[in-house]
Structure 1
Amino acid sequence: MADVGELDTSKNCQGGIGGIDPDVSRYPYSIVWTPIPVLSWLLPFVGHMGICTSAGVIRDFAGPYFVSEDNMAFGRPTKYWKLDVGKVHASGSNAWDLAVRDASEAYKHRMHNLCCDNCHSHVAMALNLMRYDNCSSWNMVNLCLLSLVHGKHVSLGGFVKTWLPFFLLIGVILTVTLVLCLR
Protein backbone atom coordinates (compact mmCIF):
# COMPACT_ATOMS: atom_id res chain seq x y z
CA MET A 1 0.00 0.00 0.00
CA ALA A 2 1.29 3.47 -0.88
CA ASP A 3 2.03 5.94 1.85
CA VAL A 4 0.57 9.45 1.93
CA GLY A 5 3.63 11.02 0.29
CA GLU A 6 3.37 8.68 -2.68
CA LEU A 7 -0.33 9.45 -3.08
CA ASP A 8 0.33 13.19 -3.07
CA THR A 9 3.06 12.83 -5.70
CA SER A 10 0.80 10.68 -7.83
CA LYS A 11 -1.92 13.30 -7.56
CA ASN A 12 0.41 16.06 -8.75
CA CYS A 13 1.88 14.08 -11.65
CA GLN A 14 -1.20 12.28 -12.93
CA GLY A 15 -3.93 14.84 -12.35
CA GLY A 16 -5.43 13.43 -9.18
CA ILE A 17 -8.22 10.99 -8.57
CA GLY A 18 -10.52 10.99 -11.57
CA GLY A 19 -7.88 12.92 -13.50
CA ILE A 20 -9.06 16.50 -13.01
CA ASP A 21 -7.16 18.57 -10.44
CA PRO A 22 -7.75 22.34 -10.70
CA ASP A 23 -5.40 23.02 -7.76
CA VAL A 24 -2.41 22.11 -9.93
CA SER A 25 -4.08 22.87 -13.30
CA ARG A 26 -4.22 19.26 -14.47
CA TYR A 27 -6.99 18.34 -16.90
CA PRO A 28 -6.07 15.07 -18.67
CA TYR A 29 -7.80 14.51 -22.02
CA SER A 30 -9.52 17.88 -21.80
CA ILE A 31 -9.99 21.12 -23.63
CA VAL A 32 -9.48 24.09 -21.31
CA TRP A 33 -10.71 27.66 -21.62
CA THR A 34 -9.99 30.98 -19.95
CA PRO A 35 -11.43 34.46 -20.59
CA ILE A 36 -9.53 37.10 -22.55
CA PRO A 37 -9.70 40.45 -20.74
CA VAL A 38 -12.04 42.99 -22.38
CA LEU A 39 -12.96 40.69 -25.29
CA SER A 40 -14.63 38.11 -23.01
CA TRP A 41 -16.22 40.90 -20.97
CA LEU A 42 -18.12 41.94 -24.11
CA LEU A 43 -18.63 38.44 -25.54
CA PRO A 44 -18.34 35.91 -22.70
CA PHE A 45 -18.41 32.92 -25.05
CA VAL A 46 -15.18 34.12 -26.71
CA GLY A 47 -11.98 33.21 -24.91
CA HIS A 48 -8.63 31.45 -25.04
CA MET A 49 -8.50 27.68 -25.52
CA GLY A 50 -5.93 24.97 -24.98
CA ILE A 51 -5.77 21.18 -25.10
CA CYS A 52 -4.24 18.92 -22.47
CA THR A 53 -2.11 15.82 -22.81
CA SER A 54 -2.96 12.51 -21.17
CA ALA A 55 -1.01 13.70 -18.10
CA GLY A 56 -3.02 16.94 -18.02
CA VAL A 57 -0.27 19.26 -19.29
CA ILE A 58 -1.87 22.24 -21.03
CA ARG A 59 -0.73 23.18 -24.54
CA ASP A 60 -2.05 26.42 -26.06
CA PHE A 61 -1.24 28.47 -29.14
CA ALA A 62 -0.36 31.62 -27.24
CA GLY A 63 0.94 33.87 -30.00
CA PRO A 64 2.85 33.96 -33.27
CA TYR A 65 5.16 30.96 -33.56
CA PHE A 66 4.63 30.04 -29.89
CA VAL A 67 2.80 27.17 -28.22
CA SER A 68 3.06 27.39 -24.47
CA GLU A 69 3.19 24.47 -22.09
CA ASP A 70 1.45 24.71 -18.72
CA ASN A 71 1.30 28.51 -18.80
CA MET A 72 -1.84 29.62 -20.60
CA ALA A 73 -1.61 33.01 -22.26
CA PHE A 74 -4.44 34.57 -20.24
CA GLY A 75 -4.13 32.72 -16.95
CA ARG A 76 -5.30 29.49 -15.43
CA PRO A 77 -8.33 27.75 -16.95
CA THR A 78 -11.76 28.74 -15.69
CA LYS A 79 -13.56 26.02 -17.68
CA TYR A 80 -12.73 22.56 -18.97
CA TRP A 81 -14.38 20.03 -21.23
CA LYS A 82 -13.31 16.46 -20.44
CA LEU A 83 -13.18 14.31 -23.57
CA ASP A 84 -13.33 10.52 -23.88
CA VAL A 85 -9.98 9.04 -24.91
CA GLY A 86 -11.91 6.00 -26.13
CA LYS A 87 -13.22 8.16 -29.01
CA VAL A 88 -9.72 8.63 -30.45
CA HIS A 89 -9.55 6.80 -33.79
CA ALA A 90 -6.30 4.92 -33.06
CA SER A 91 -7.31 4.55 -29.39
CA GLY A 92 -5.31 5.23 -26.31
CA SER A 93 -3.24 7.89 -24.66
CA ASN A 94 -0.31 7.52 -27.07
CA ALA A 95 -2.49 8.50 -30.04
CA TRP A 96 -3.92 11.42 -28.04
CA ASP A 97 -0.50 12.69 -26.97
CA LEU A 98 0.95 12.26 -30.46
CA ALA A 99 -1.85 14.35 -31.99
CA VAL A 100 -1.45 17.09 -29.35
CA ARG A 101 2.32 17.11 -29.93
CA ASP A 102 2.01 17.18 -33.73
CA ALA A 103 -0.54 20.02 -33.66
CA SER A 104 1.68 21.96 -31.27
CA GLU A 105 4.73 21.45 -33.47
CA ALA A 106 2.79 22.65 -36.52
CA TYR A 107 1.56 25.75 -34.70
CA LYS A 108 5.09 26.66 -33.59
CA HIS A 109 5.58 27.61 -37.26
CA ARG A 110 2.40 29.64 -37.72
CA MET A 111 1.47 33.26 -37.40
CA HIS A 112 -1.35 33.89 -34.92
CA ASN A 113 -4.48 35.47 -36.36
CA LEU A 114 -7.31 36.34 -33.96
CA CYS A 115 -10.07 35.58 -36.48
CA CYS A 116 -8.76 32.76 -38.68
CA ASP A 117 -5.84 30.80 -37.23
CA ASN A 118 -5.84 30.95 -33.46
CA CYS A 119 -5.86 28.87 -30.27
CA HIS A 120 -9.18 27.25 -31.24
CA SER A 121 -7.65 26.24 -34.58
CA HIS A 122 -4.72 24.63 -32.76
CA VAL A 123 -7.10 22.52 -30.65
CA ALA A 124 -9.15 21.67 -33.76
CA MET A 125 -6.02 20.44 -35.53
CA ALA A 126 -5.18 18.15 -32.61
CA LEU A 127 -8.71 16.69 -32.63
CA ASN A 128 -8.60 16.28 -36.42
CA LEU A 129 -5.22 14.53 -36.25
CA MET A 130 -6.54 12.04 -33.69
CA ARG A 131 -9.86 11.81 -35.60
CA TYR A 132 -11.67 12.38 -32.34
CA ASP A 133 -15.22 10.97 -32.39
CA ASN A 134 -14.51 9.71 -35.93
CA CYS A 135 -14.50 13.29 -37.20
CA SER A 136 -11.88 15.22 -39.14
CA SER A 137 -13.79 18.49 -39.55
CA TRP A 138 -13.25 20.10 -36.16
CA ASN A 139 -12.99 23.88 -36.38
CA MET A 140 -12.99 26.96 -34.19
CA VAL A 141 -16.74 27.54 -34.52
CA ASN A 142 -17.90 24.09 -33.45
CA LEU A 143 -15.28 24.01 -30.68
CA CYS A 144 -16.51 27.36 -29.36
CA LEU A 145 -20.13 26.19 -29.33
CA LEU A 146 -19.44 22.71 -27.95
CA SER A 147 -17.14 23.96 -25.21
CA LEU A 148 -19.81 26.49 -24.23
CA VAL A 149 -22.36 23.67 -23.94
CA HIS A 150 -20.16 20.90 -22.48
CA GLY A 151 -17.61 22.95 -20.54
CA LYS A 152 -17.67 22.91 -16.75
CA HIS A 153 -16.33 25.67 -14.54
CA VAL A 154 -13.33 24.59 -12.49
CA SER A 155 -14.74 26.31 -9.37
CA LEU A 156 -17.02 29.08 -8.17
CA GLY A 157 -14.07 31.43 -8.69
CA GLY A 158 -13.80 30.25 -12.30
CA PHE A 159 -17.48 30.97 -12.82
CA VAL A 160 -17.10 34.46 -11.32
CA LYS A 161 -14.00 35.24 -13.39
CA THR A 162 -15.84 34.15 -16.53
CA TRP A 163 -19.20 35.88 -16.04
CA LEU A 164 -18.91 38.74 -13.49
CA PRO A 165 -17.33 41.32 -15.85
CA PHE A 166 -20.03 40.67 -18.47
CA PHE A 167 -22.88 41.01 -15.96
CA LEU A 168 -21.33 44.15 -14.46
CA LEU A 169 -21.08 45.67 -17.94
CA ILE A 170 -24.70 44.75 -18.70
CA GLY A 171 -25.73 46.25 -15.34
CA VAL A 172 -23.97 49.53 -16.12
CA ILE A 173 -25.56 49.67 -19.59
CA LEU A 174 -29.03 48.97 -18.18
CA THR A 175 -28.57 51.52 -15.39
CA VAL A 176 -27.40 54.24 -17.80
CA THR A 177 -30.26 53.41 -20.19
CA LEU A 178 -32.80 53.55 -17.37
CA VAL A 179 -31.45 56.88 -16.08
CA LEU A 180 -31.54 58.38 -19.59
CA CYS A 181 -35.08 57.09 -20.20
CA LEU A 182 -36.35 58.58 -16.92
CA ARG A 183 -35.07 62.07 -17.76
Structure 2
Amino acid sequence: MSPKVFSSTVLEADFGDEDHNSDNVLQELWPLGEIDPKKARFPCCIVWTPLPVVSWLAPYIGHVGICQEDGAVLDFAGSNLVSVNNFAYGSVARYIQLDRKKVYMIPKIFFQPFVLQKPSYMVVRHIFIKSFQVEEFFLIILLFSHGQCCFPANLSAHVCKRSYNHTEVGTAISWDDALQSGLRHFQHKFYNLFTCNCHSFVSNCLNRLAYDGSVEWNVLNIAVLVWLHGQWVDKMSVVRSFFPFLTVTCIGILMAGWSFLIGMAAFSSLLIGWFVLTVCCFKGVVC
Protein backbone atom coordinates (compact mmCIF):
# COMPACT_ATOMS: atom_id res chain seq x y z
CA MET A 1 0.00 0.00 0.00
CA SER A 2 1.36 3.40 -0.91
CA PRO A 3 2.12 5.87 1.87
CA LYS A 4 -0.73 8.06 2.98
CA VAL A 5 0.19 11.72 3.35
CA PHE A 6 -1.88 14.00 5.54
CA SER A 7 -2.43 17.69 5.03
CA SER A 8 -0.82 20.10 7.48
CA THR A 9 -4.21 20.93 9.02
CA VAL A 10 -4.96 17.29 9.72
CA LEU A 11 -1.45 16.74 11.03
CA GLU A 12 -1.67 19.52 13.58
CA ALA A 13 -5.02 18.25 14.80
CA ASP A 14 -3.82 14.67 14.90
CA PHE A 15 -0.52 15.47 16.61
CA GLY A 16 -2.20 15.84 19.99
CA ASP A 17 -3.95 12.50 19.60
CA GLU A 18 -0.61 10.79 19.04
CA ASP A 19 0.50 11.40 22.63
CA HIS A 20 -2.61 9.59 23.81
CA ASN A 21 -2.00 6.53 21.62
CA SER A 22 1.81 6.34 21.61
CA ASP A 23 1.97 4.25 24.78
CA ASN A 24 -0.19 1.51 23.25
CA VAL A 25 1.85 1.51 20.03
CA LEU A 26 5.05 1.19 22.06
CA GLN A 27 3.80 -1.85 23.95
CA GLU A 28 2.50 -3.51 20.78
CA LEU A 29 5.72 -3.09 18.81
CA TRP A 30 8.29 -3.65 21.56
CA PRO A 31 6.84 -5.90 24.28
CA LEU A 32 9.06 -6.51 27.28
CA GLY A 33 9.76 -9.99 28.55
CA GLU A 34 9.03 -11.10 32.09
CA ILE A 35 11.46 -10.46 34.92
CA ASP A 36 13.27 -13.76 35.57
CA PRO A 37 15.81 -13.67 38.44
CA LYS A 38 16.84 -17.29 37.81
CA LYS A 39 18.01 -16.37 34.30
CA ALA A 40 19.26 -12.93 35.46
CA ARG A 41 16.81 -11.16 33.16
CA PHE A 42 15.50 -7.78 34.33
CA PRO A 43 14.12 -5.84 31.32
CA CYS A 44 14.47 -2.05 31.68
CA CYS A 45 15.42 -2.31 35.35
CA ILE A 46 17.98 -0.76 37.65
CA VAL A 47 19.53 -3.60 39.65
CA TRP A 48 21.50 -3.59 42.91
CA THR A 49 23.69 -6.00 44.85
CA PRO A 50 25.79 -5.55 48.03
CA LEU A 51 29.51 -4.83 47.79
CA PRO A 52 32.10 -6.90 49.67
CA VAL A 53 33.49 -5.18 52.78
CA VAL A 54 31.95 -1.77 52.01
CA SER A 55 28.36 -3.03 52.42
CA TRP A 56 29.41 -4.80 55.63
CA LEU A 57 30.01 -1.36 57.15
CA ALA A 58 27.32 0.57 55.26
CA PRO A 59 24.54 -1.72 53.95
CA TYR A 60 22.89 1.08 51.98
CA ILE A 61 25.91 1.15 49.65
CA GLY A 62 26.04 -1.37 46.83
CA HIS A 63 26.79 -2.01 43.19
CA VAL A 64 24.19 -0.98 40.60
CA GLY A 65 23.61 -1.65 36.93
CA ILE A 66 20.98 -0.91 34.32
CA CYS A 67 19.35 -3.45 32.03
CA GLN A 68 18.58 -3.54 28.33
CA GLU A 69 15.15 -4.27 26.94
CA ASP A 70 16.04 -7.95 26.64
CA GLY A 71 16.96 -8.03 30.35
CA ALA A 72 20.76 -8.19 30.02
CA VAL A 73 22.56 -6.26 32.77
CA LEU A 74 25.11 -3.54 31.97
CA ASP A 75 27.29 -2.30 34.82
CA PHE A 76 30.42 -0.20 35.20
CA ALA A 77 32.57 -2.80 36.95
CA GLY A 78 36.04 -1.26 36.75
CA SER A 79 38.33 1.10 34.87
CA ASN A 80 37.60 0.95 31.13
CA LEU A 81 35.25 -1.96 31.77
CA VAL A 82 31.48 -2.09 31.33
CA SER A 83 30.26 -5.65 31.83
CA VAL A 84 27.41 -7.00 29.72
CA ASN A 85 25.27 -9.78 31.16
CA ASN A 86 27.90 -10.49 33.82
CA PHE A 87 26.84 -8.54 36.90
CA ALA A 88 29.83 -7.92 39.14
CA TYR A 89 29.85 -8.85 42.85
CA GLY A 90 27.14 -11.49 42.69
CA SER A 91 23.55 -11.96 41.63
CA VAL A 92 20.94 -9.22 41.75
CA ALA A 93 19.47 -8.64 45.21
CA ARG A 94 17.21 -5.66 44.56
CA TYR A 95 15.66 -4.16 41.44
CA ILE A 96 13.28 -1.50 40.22
CA GLN A 97 11.66 -1.68 36.79
CA LEU A 98 11.50 1.65 34.98
CA ASP A 99 8.69 2.80 32.72
CA ARG A 100 9.76 3.09 29.07
CA LYS A 101 6.83 5.42 28.44
CA LYS A 102 8.65 8.11 30.39
CA VAL A 103 11.68 8.26 28.11
CA TYR A 104 9.84 9.91 25.21
CA MET A 105 8.90 13.10 27.02
CA ILE A 106 10.88 16.21 26.05
CA PRO A 107 12.10 17.67 29.35
CA LYS A 108 11.37 21.33 30.04
CA ILE A 109 14.89 21.81 31.37
CA PHE A 110 16.13 20.95 27.89
CA PHE A 111 14.78 24.27 26.62
CA GLN A 112 15.50 26.49 29.61
CA PRO A 113 18.77 27.98 28.28
CA PHE A 114 16.96 29.37 25.25
CA VAL A 115 14.43 32.13 24.70
CA LEU A 116 11.91 30.58 22.36
CA GLN A 117 9.66 32.87 20.35
CA LYS A 118 6.56 31.38 18.77
CA PRO A 119 7.94 27.99 17.75
CA SER A 120 6.24 26.34 14.82
CA TYR A 121 6.46 22.76 13.71
CA MET A 122 5.73 20.57 10.77
CA VAL A 123 4.94 16.93 11.20
CA VAL A 124 5.13 14.54 8.30
CA ARG A 125 3.66 11.15 9.02
CA HIS A 126 3.57 8.09 6.83
CA ILE A 127 1.51 5.10 7.80
CA PHE A 128 2.29 1.69 6.38
CA ILE A 129 -0.11 -1.17 6.98
CA LYS A 130 1.33 -4.64 6.67
CA SER A 131 0.22 -7.86 8.34
CA PHE A 132 -2.20 -5.91 10.53
CA GLN A 133 0.66 -4.00 12.14
CA VAL A 134 0.86 -0.23 12.04
CA GLU A 135 4.25 1.42 12.04
CA GLU A 136 4.37 5.16 12.43
CA PHE A 137 7.36 7.26 11.51
CA PHE A 138 7.61 10.86 12.59
CA LEU A 139 9.76 13.69 11.47
CA ILE A 140 9.33 16.69 13.73
CA ILE A 141 11.08 19.81 12.57
CA LEU A 142 11.21 22.63 15.09
CA LEU A 143 11.62 26.03 13.50
CA PHE A 144 12.46 28.95 15.77
CA SER A 145 12.65 32.56 14.71
CA HIS A 146 15.71 34.79 15.07
CA GLY A 147 18.14 31.88 14.87
CA GLN A 148 17.08 30.34 18.16
CA CYS A 149 17.89 26.76 19.13
CA CYS A 150 16.77 24.09 16.68
CA PHE A 151 17.15 20.33 16.34
CA PRO A 152 18.22 19.39 12.81
CA ALA A 153 18.16 15.80 11.62
CA ASN A 154 21.96 15.76 11.80
CA LEU A 155 22.98 16.88 15.30
CA SER A 156 26.53 17.59 14.11
CA ALA A 157 25.06 20.57 12.23
CA HIS A 158 23.65 22.00 15.44
CA VAL A 159 24.90 25.56 15.93
CA CYS A 160 23.54 26.30 19.40
CA LYS A 161 26.13 27.26 22.04
CA ARG A 162 24.97 24.32 24.16
CA SER A 163 24.87 21.82 21.29
CA TYR A 164 27.45 19.65 23.05
CA ASN A 165 24.86 19.00 25.76
CA HIS A 166 22.22 18.00 23.23
CA THR A 167 24.43 15.24 21.84
CA GLU A 168 24.82 13.81 25.34
CA VAL A 169 21.38 14.00 26.95
CA GLY A 170 17.83 13.53 25.76
CA THR A 171 18.72 12.49 22.20
CA ALA A 172 18.55 8.68 22.37
CA ILE A 173 16.34 7.06 19.76
CA SER A 174 15.59 4.04 21.94
CA TRP A 175 16.22 2.57 25.38
CA ASP A 176 19.04 0.31 24.20
CA ASP A 177 20.55 3.11 22.11
CA ALA A 178 21.03 5.21 25.25
CA LEU A 179 22.60 2.31 27.13
CA GLN A 180 24.99 1.54 24.29
CA SER A 181 26.02 5.20 24.11
CA GLY A 182 26.67 5.20 27.86
CA LEU A 183 28.63 1.95 27.53
CA ARG A 184 30.93 3.42 24.88
CA HIS A 185 31.43 6.55 26.98
CA PHE A 186 32.37 4.69 30.18
CA GLN A 187 34.68 2.25 28.42
CA HIS A 188 37.16 5.13 28.53
CA LYS A 189 36.59 6.07 32.18
CA PHE A 190 38.69 5.19 35.22
CA TYR A 191 36.71 3.69 38.09
CA ASN A 192 36.80 5.48 41.43
CA LEU A 193 34.39 4.80 44.28
CA PHE A 194 34.24 8.49 45.20
CA THR A 195 34.23 10.26 41.83
CA CYS A 196 33.27 7.86 39.02
CA ASN A 197 31.44 4.71 40.00
CA CYS A 198 28.63 2.41 38.91
CA HIS A 199 25.97 4.92 40.00
CA SER A 200 27.57 7.46 37.66
CA PHE A 201 27.11 5.06 34.75
CA VAL A 202 23.42 4.47 35.51
CA SER A 203 22.70 8.18 35.95
CA ASN A 204 24.48 8.91 32.66
CA CYS A 205 22.21 6.44 30.86
CA LEU A 206 19.06 7.93 32.40
CA ASN A 207 20.18 11.42 31.40
CA ARG A 208 20.64 10.25 27.83
CA LEU A 209 17.06 8.98 27.97
CA ALA A 210 15.84 12.17 29.69
CA TYR A 211 13.98 9.69 31.88
CA ASP A 212 10.91 11.08 33.62
CA GLY A 213 11.52 14.43 31.94
CA SER A 214 14.80 15.06 33.76
CA VAL A 215 18.45 15.33 32.74
CA GLU A 216 19.58 15.88 36.33
CA TRP A 217 20.06 12.27 37.39
CA ASN A 218 23.08 11.73 39.65
CA VAL A 219 24.57 9.24 42.12
CA LEU A 220 22.36 10.44 44.97
CA ASN A 221 18.93 10.25 43.38
CA ILE A 222 19.83 6.89 41.79
CA ALA A 223 20.62 5.50 45.26
CA VAL A 224 17.44 6.99 46.73
CA LEU A 225 15.34 5.64 43.85
CA VAL A 226 16.61 2.10 44.37
CA TRP A 227 16.18 2.11 48.14
CA LEU A 228 12.77 3.77 48.26
CA HIS A 229 11.14 2.00 45.32
CA GLY A 230 13.22 -1.13 44.73
CA GLN A 231 11.97 -4.67 45.31
CA TRP A 232 13.89 -7.55 46.84
CA VAL A 233 14.38 -10.56 44.59
CA ASP A 234 13.72 -12.98 47.46
CA LYS A 235 14.22 -13.42 51.21
CA MET A 236 17.76 -14.70 50.79
CA SER A 237 18.66 -11.43 49.08
CA VAL A 238 17.67 -9.58 52.25
CA VAL A 239 19.74 -11.97 54.36
CA ARG A 240 22.93 -11.66 52.31
CA SER A 241 22.53 -7.87 52.22
CA PHE A 242 22.19 -7.34 55.98
CA PHE A 243 23.62 -10.42 57.70
CA PRO A 244 27.30 -9.41 57.17
CA PHE A 245 26.53 -5.92 58.50
CA LEU A 246 24.84 -7.29 61.62
CA THR A 247 27.67 -9.76 62.17
CA VAL A 248 30.38 -7.10 61.88
CA THR A 249 28.39 -4.78 64.16
CA CYS A 250 27.99 -7.43 66.88
CA ILE A 251 31.67 -8.41 66.74
CA GLY A 252 32.72 -4.75 66.80
CA ILE A 253 30.59 -4.00 69.86
CA LEU A 254 31.96 -7.06 71.70
CA MET A 255 35.56 -6.10 70.93
CA ALA A 256 35.49 -2.29 71.08
CA GLY A 257 32.27 -1.46 72.89
CA TRP A 258 29.85 1.24 71.89
CA SER A 259 32.65 3.35 70.48
CA PHE A 260 32.55 1.03 67.48
CA LEU A 261 29.03 2.26 66.67
CA ILE A 262 30.24 5.85 66.93
CA GLY A 263 33.00 5.04 64.44
CA MET A 264 30.53 3.44 62.02
CA ALA A 265 28.20 6.42 62.32
CA ALA A 266 31.10 8.76 61.58
CA PHE A 267 32.09 6.65 58.56
CA SER A 268 28.54 6.79 57.18
CA SER A 269 28.27 10.53 57.81
CA LEU A 270 31.52 11.25 55.99
CA LEU A 271 30.56 9.02 53.07
CA ILE A 272 27.08 10.50 52.64
CA GLY A 273 28.40 14.00 53.25
CA TRP A 274 30.97 13.60 50.48
CA PHE A 275 28.39 12.73 47.85
CA VAL A 276 25.90 15.37 49.01
CA LEU A 277 28.61 18.03 48.94
CA THR A 278 30.05 17.08 45.55
CA VAL A 279 26.65 16.66 43.87
CA CYS A 280 25.04 19.81 45.29
CA CYS A 281 27.94 22.22 45.74
CA PHE A 282 30.87 21.06 43.59
CA LYS A 283 29.26 19.77 40.42
CA GLY A 284 31.66 18.07 38.06
CA VAL A 285 33.73 16.36 40.74
CA VAL A 286 31.55 13.24 40.53
CA CYS A 287 30.92 12.20 36.93
Match for 2:188 among 96, 102, 109?
109
Which stretch shifts more, 57-66 or 67-76? 67-76
1:90–1:130 contact (8 Å) kept in structure 2: no
Alignment of 1:66-85 (within 5 A): 66-85=81-100
Alignment of 1:21-170 (within 5 A): 21-89=36-104, 95-170=174-249
Tell me what 1:11 maps to. none
Q: Give deviations 1:75-121, integer Å, cap 9, x for gaps.
A: 11111111111111269xx6111111110111011111111111100
1:146 and 1:138 map into 2 onto residues whose CA distance is 10
2:65–2:198 contact (8 Å) kept in structure 1: yes
1:15–1:27 contact (8 Å) kept in structure 2: no
Letter in 2 for 1:97: D
Letter in 2 for 1:29: C
1:130 and 1:113 map into 2 onto residues whose CA distance is 24
Give 1:175 shift: 4.0
1:65 and 1:156 map into 2 onto residues whose CA distance is 34
2:70 and 2:219 map into 1 onto residues whose CA distance is 24
Answer with 1 or 2: which has the greater Rg.
2
1:15–1:26 contact (8 Å) kept in structure 2: no
Q: TM-score, normalised by structure 2?
A: 0.53
After TM superposition, which residue ranges in structure 1, 4 or more long, deviate above 6 angstroms? Answer: none
**5+ unaligned residues in a row in structure 1: which ranges?**
1-13, 179-183
Q: Secondary structure at the match of 1:111?
A: coil
Identity rate, percent = 39
Give 1:169 shift: 1.9
Letter in 2 for 1:59: L
1:128 and 1:56 map into 2 onto residues whose CA distance is 20
2:200–2:218 contact (8 Å) kept in structure 1: yes
Give 1:15 shift: 7.7
Give 1:73 shift: 1.6
1:88 and 1:39 map into 2 onto residues whose CA distance is 33
Q: TM-score, normalised by structure 1?
A: 0.82
Q: Name the count of aligned residue pairs.
A: 162
1:15–1:21 contact (8 Å) kept in structure 2: no
Letter in 2 for 1:74: Y
Root-mean-square deviation (Å) = 2.0
Q: Secondary structure at the match of 1:88?
A: helix
Match for 1:171 among 237, 250, 253?
250
1:129 and 1:67 map into 2 onto residues whose CA distance is 17
2:104 and 2:246 map into 1 onto residues whose CA distance is 41
